[in-house]
Amino acid sequence: AWEDAYYNWIRPHKALRMEIEGDPKRRWKQQTPAIAAKLTDHIWNVKELLFMVSAPHHSSKNNLQHIKG
């Protein structure tokens, strides 16, 4: 799960970068999948990822009832 979060929120992907026009110093704007999906507006750092609040799983109790039959 951590590697998925790193892949989507922290690691810029070359295939997702956007060309910047009119800036001679920078040619590309780096993006992560989360930026491309418009879930965030910046590349996260590890500290931000560690403090991210995750959504609770709604299925844990229901799954146990389903398994018990």
52-56 contact pairs (CB < 8 A, 24+)? 52/5, 52/9
The yes-or-no verdict on residue 66 having pLDDT over 90 is no
Distance of alpha carbon 44 from alpha carbon 66, whole angstroms: 38
Domain extent at residue 9: 2-68
Count CA within 13 A, CB hemisphere, residue 8. Answer: 11
- pLDDT 10s digits, 11-64: 999 999 999 998 888 899 999 999 999 999 999 999 999 888 666 656 555 554
**Number of domains making up the chain:** 1
pLDDT score recorded for residue 60: 54
